[in-house]
Chain A
Amino acid sequence: MALLTGWAAFVVGVATIACIYGLLTLGLNVHYGYTGLLNFGHVAFFAAGAYAAAILTMPPPSTVTNASYTVGFNLPMPWGFPVSLAAATLVGGALAALIGATSIRLGTHYLAIATFALAGVFSDVLVNEAWLTNGSFGMNSVPKPGQAALGPDRWQLAYLAFSLLSLLAVYLLVERVLDAPFGRLLKGVRESEDAAKMLGKNTTLVKLKSFVIGGMIAGFAGGVYAHYIGSVVTAQFVPQVTFTVWAAMLLGGAASNTGAVVGAVLVMTFEESTRFITTVYDWMQATLPDALSGLLPAIFGPLPNNPSFIPSMRFVIVGLLFVLVVRYRAEGLLGDPAEIEALGEEEGSE
């Protein structure tokens, strides 16, 4: 098989990452869309899952250069793969249970701050506890299951297929669970905690369950991510991840699972495409007739010439997405305005 090149490689890569972010967004949607929990620390569950998968499958430290980690269980592929993903899911859920147990009782705004800060503390732990995580150098030999047998190209396609199936499975599972009485209970708690309490529901427990379910989905996404990229580094797990997932959820429409997936695909396609801006620029410059060759530099010349310009503008646009969706289309592309109202969007400030 020919090497995947050009557009094909790009599309396969974006599609795989979009599936992983789709999983993350589905998880966040359980928290916010269905239960009204403001989780601003989603990246922590993603990181917990990724690190769990890495620690279970990394080769022992003695065989890796620059290793300061002390445990690598070296589970053999391919059978270690499902074990690793299961562990990632459980660890994501366990961290959610831990964070939820301390913070879930807090009011919306306090919960937003508590989750945001706990995720910050968790990332400090990942950076500092090098015996476990190899610090900021990262764990860079996470096995890609089946790559040796399939070869790099077919493996890319196979992993995309696996990611798509995972996304579909989690999507169906979430739809099923949230269609059941449990889903109505979550929405009941979202709309009126007092009413749910009146009916004898333990609302704290309900919220905690929702938090753990979303955390498990994010942990699973972390496992899928670790085995796709093949390395797990602290710099990958920054607050931007949390808010990119938020942007995807808001764009697609909070409380809509289809919206969550569509939002993730759109946001990730956009983020990955911005890599090509310089390529497109060069191409335009090369194709323009000579008479117009001064045009592009005249337009874009005054822009700062530093390597972080385009990556930064990407996040400026993600920020604008927050602002514009909230202001002009709170239900996103596929959401239901009634659901947004139930989230307390239009309650009025007085």
Chain B
Amino acid sequence: MGLDTFLQAVVSGLIEGSVIAVGAVGLTLSYGVTRFINFAYGEFLTYGAYLTVFLAGGLFGVSLPLPAAAVVATVVVGALGVAVSRTFFEPISDRGALPLLITSIGVSFILRNLLQGWVGVDARQLPIPLLRRQDYFGLFRLTHLELGVIAASVVTMLTIHLLLQRTMLGKRMRATSGNRSLAKTAGIDTTSVIRQTWFLSAAAGALAGVLYAVLFSPFRPGVGFEYLIVIFAATLLGGIGRPYGAMLGAFCIGLAMNFGSTYLSANYTRAYAFLILVGVLLLKPEGIRGGEF
């Protein structure tokens, strides 16, 4: 267990952190404007991964190349997110956070089990070849796919950053998140902002699901729901509702999980994510990054 093992744990932590980051940013964006924790969010990951498998595997008549399948799946799941919001959450959006939270549990059950009833519980995987890890500078080893996952995550983070800071939608989102009634008074169509945010949130979730599936195939219909704990940990660690905090939190959680499984025991990866979370909640409940986004 020398420097080599250590560096490899860092690299693995950063790779998994990239996946978690995409997922955590999506969850935190929707919290920012809706103010409830969406327990159905894990299903967006699951649907993203499954839809990509189906699109790439020719289930709908055509088999798209993997990147194209991933993009189509991301957009479709984004639209699904809007539909879910309009069907289940908008009708009770004036009732406070608690009914929304409880409803999201129900929605997660509906989505997950509809998929499971349709495709069964058998494990699936993306059509990707087994790749040998390449040596980089004699320090750590990565496959091209892992590099691709990191690149996709970085591009997503940058896109979301530019979207929030440089576009009108980002401005409206930030205004709605900061104070919804004030935003409404200022003439912002908050309903439309919320729908657009749902699209982004669900699409980010789907992309996280695809990236997860690239790294950790095979998977089953419960995959997103099970990974929810990890995404929650990153989201809360970063301070919920704060995209930059979520990104930071995601890398901390990714590193913690991989250090834990390298040096302690590989059976408890979720527990490492969670112990860090509980520690942070107790010491600094607002998360590691305060301030508005």
Residues of A within 8 A of B (CB): 38, 40, 102-103, 105-110, 112-114, 116-118, 120-121, 124-125, 127-128, 239, 243, 246, 250, 304, 306-310, 312-316, 318-323, 326-327, 330, 343-350
Q: B121–A308 contact, CB under 8 A?
A: yes
Q: A330–B99 contact, CB under 8 A?
A: yes
Contacts of A347 in B (CB 8 A): 96, 98
A312 CA to B236 CA, complexed, in Å: 31
Contacts of B98 in A (CB 8 A): 38, 108, 343-345, 347
A319 CA to B108 CA, complexed, in Å: 7
Q: A315–B113 contact, CB under 8 A?
A: yes
Contact with A along B217-234 (1 / 0, CB 8 A): 000000001101100110
Contacts A112-B37, A116-B229, A349-B94; is A304 near B117 (CB within 8 Å)?
A: yes
Q: B95–A250 contact, CB under 8 A?
A: no
Q: Smallest CB-CB separation from B275: which chain A residue?
A: A121
Q: Smallest CB-CB separation from A102: which chain B residue?
A: B278
The winner among B107, B268, B271 for most chain A CB atoms within 10 A is: B271
Contacts of B118 in A (CB 8 A): 304, 309
Q: A312–B106 contact, CB under 8 A?
A: no
Q: Smallest CB-CB separation from B267: which chain A residue?
A: A128
A246 CA to B101 CA, complexed, in Å: 13
Contacts of B92 in A (CB 8 A): 326-327
Q: A313–B105 contact, CB under 8 A?
A: no
Q: For residues 109 through 139 of chain B, which have their beta carbon under 8 Å from a beta carbon of chain A?
A: 109-110, 112-114, 116-121
Q: List 21 A-B contacts (CB under 8 A).
A: A110-B281, A113-B37, A116-B39, A116-B229, A116-B232, A117-B229, A120-B270, A124-B270, A243-B109, A304-B117, A306-B119, A308-B116, A313-B113, A314-B113, A316-B110, A316-B113, A320-B110, A322-B103, A322-B106, A349-B95, A349-B96
Contacts A304-B117, A346-B95; is A323 near B268 (CB within 8 Å)?
A: no
Q: B263 near A: Cβ within 8 Å? A: no
Q: A346–B96 contact, CB under 8 A?
A: yes
Contacts of A127 in B (CB 8 A): 267
A348 CA to B281 CA, complexed, in Å: 26
Contacts of A38 in B (CB 8 A): 98, 101
A128 CA to B270 CA, complexed, in Å: 13
Q: B2 near A: Cβ within 8 Å? A: no
Contacts of B108 in A (CB 8 A): 319
Q: Smallest CB-CB separation from A120: which chain B residue?
A: B229
Question: Measured between C-beta atoms, what is the minimum distance from A101 to chain B in Å?
Answer: 10
Q: B271–A307 contact, CB under 8 A?
A: no
Contacts A118-B274, A124-B271, A313-B117; is A344 near B109 (CB within 8 Å)?
A: no
Q: A315–B109 contact, CB under 8 A?
A: yes
Q: A349–B107 contact, CB under 8 A?
A: no
Which one, A113, A313, A326, A345, contacts B106 given CB within 8 A?
A326
Contacts of B236 in A (CB 8 A): 110, 113
Q: B93 near A: Cβ within 8 Å? A: yes
Contacts of B232 in A (CB 8 A): 113, 116-117
Task: Knowing that A114-B278, A124-B268, A346-B95 touch, tell me 13 more A-B residue pairs with CB under 8 angstroms.
Answer: A109-B37, A110-B281, A116-B39, A116-B232, A117-B274, A121-B274, A239-B225, A304-B117, A312-B113, A318-B106, A319-B105, A322-B106, A349-B93
Q: B105–A246 contact, CB under 8 A?
A: yes
Question: Measured between C-beta atoms, what is the minimum distance from A340 to chain B in Å?
Answer: 9
Q: A327–B270 contact, CB under 8 A?
A: no
Which one, A112, A120, A124, A326, contacts B99 given CB within 8 A?
A326
A306 CA to B121 CA, complexed, in Å: 9
Contacts A106-B285, A114-B281, A323-B88; is A349 near B180 (CB within 8 Å)?
A: yes
Q: Smallest CB-CB separation from A313: which chain B residue?
A: B117
Which one, A107, A323, A326, contacts B110 given CB within 8 A?
A323
A243 CA to B107 CA, complexed, in Å: 12
Question: Measured between C-beta atoms, what is the minimum distance from A99 to chain B in Å?
Answer: 10
Q: B61 near A: Cβ within 8 Å? A: no
Contacts of A109 in B (CB 8 A): 36-37, 97, 101, 240
Contacts of A116 in B (CB 8 A): 39, 228-229, 232
Question: Measured between C-beta atoms, what is the minimum distance from A300 to chain B in Å?
Answer: 13
Q: B282 near A: Cβ within 8 Å? A: yes
Q: A308–B181 contact, CB under 8 A?
A: no
Q: B116–A103 contact, CB under 8 A?
A: no
Contacts of A343 in B (CB 8 A): 98
Contacts of A320 in B (CB 8 A): 106, 110
A313 CA to B109 CA, complexed, in Å: 10
Q: B277 near A: Cβ within 8 Å? A: yes
Contacts A102-B282, A113-B37; is A121 near B103 (CB within 8 Å)?
A: no
Q: Smallest CB-CB separation from A111: which chain B residue?
A: B281
Q: Smallest CB-CB separation from B232: which chain A residue?
A: A113
Contacts of B107 in A (CB 8 A): 319, 322-323
Contacts of A120 in B (CB 8 A): 226, 229, 270, 274
Contacts of B94 in A (CB 8 A): 348-349
Q: B102 near A: Cβ within 8 Å? A: yes
Which one, A117, A250, A344, contacts B96 given CB within 8 A?
A344
Q: B103–A326 contact, CB under 8 A?
A: yes
Question: Measured between C-beta atoms, what is the minimum distance from A129 to chain B in Å?
Answer: 9
Pairs A-B, 8 closest by C-beta atoms: A322-B106, A319-B109, A312-B117, A319-B110, A306-B120, A312-B113, A128-B267, A315-B113
Question: Measured between C-beta atoms, what is the minimum distance from A47 to chain B in Å?
Answer: 16
Question: Measured between C-beta atoms, what is the minimum distance from B269 to chain A in Å?
Answer: 9
